[in-house]
Amino acid sequence: MFYFQTTNKHKFKEAKEIFEKHGLELERIPEKYREIQASSLEEVAIESIKEIGKKNVFIEDAGLFIKALKGFPGVYSSYVEKTIGNGGILKLMQGIEERDAKFVSIVAFLEEVSPPKVKVFKGVVKGNISYEVRGKEGFGFDPIFIPQGYNKTFAEDINIKMRLSHRKKSIEKLARYLRHRR
């Protein structure tokens, strides 16, 4: 049995479906955990999972990294989304032609507690920032993110998001690792 510590039911549902596809059982630990302030998602996730200190548990942290803004909002994505939101990001991007961006997901899995043995899995989806908020599906920055090779935002076509999801990629890597570890 494996555990995903998250307060987000939607993230858990996505992870549970992936685990079931690989013949693995997954339960949710619906508790918040402390996240340090750091310059990389990897560092935040590794330190958070070590602090949780429970074997066979994983967490997931994600962010939107915009090239023209030197990677902002990055590790601060959740806070930025809650405070200035999509409209604030679009204001920061006014007059900027270079719209390259990527969503990154980091999964940190605690295999052993003492000493801590952490495995990290990364999922990335590249794309661009739109010029306006588009679509009603999804959440967070989905209404302003257009994945590479498409002309719709994640919020305009949830099926595209489900197929290309950065979170799906990182959790899929974890599930494959666990299945082969048996």
Average pLDDT over residues 64-73: 98
- Where exactly are the structural domains of the chain? 2-181
Q: Quick one: CA dihedral 124, 168, 77, 80, positive or negative? A: positive
Q: Report the alpha-carbon distance of residue 118 to residue 45 in Å, rounded.
A: 10
Average pLDDT over residues 12-24: 95
Average pLDDT over residues 85-106: 97
Q: Report the alpha-carbon distance of residue 87 to residue 75 in Å, rounded.
A: 19
The CB-side HSE value for 53 (13 A sphere, CA atoms) comes to 4
Q: Which residues pair with 95 in a beta bridge?
A: none
Q: Report the alpha-carbon distance of residue 134 to residue 98 in Å, rounded.
A: 19
Average pLDDT over residues 33-51: 93
Is residue 112's pLDDT more than 70?
yes
Which among 14, 125, 95 is positioned nearest to 60, based on CA atoms? Answer: 14
Is residue 182's pLDDT more than 70?
no
Per-residue pLDDT tens digits for 124-142:
999 999 999 999 987 899 9
Q: What percent of the chain has pLDDT over 90?
A: 87
Is residue 3's pLDDT more than 90?
yes
Q: Report the alpha-carbon distance of residue 2 to residue 22 in Å, rounded.
A: 12
Is residue 164's pLDDT more than 70?
yes
Hey, what CATH class is 2-181 in?
Answer: alpha beta
What is the distance of C-alpha 49 from the center of its chain?
A: 15
The one catalytic residue among 61, 100, 142, 157: 61
What does each C-alpha distance from 3 to 35, 51, 120, 147, 175 come to in angstroms?
Answer: 18, 15, 15, 30, 12
Active site residue 100: no
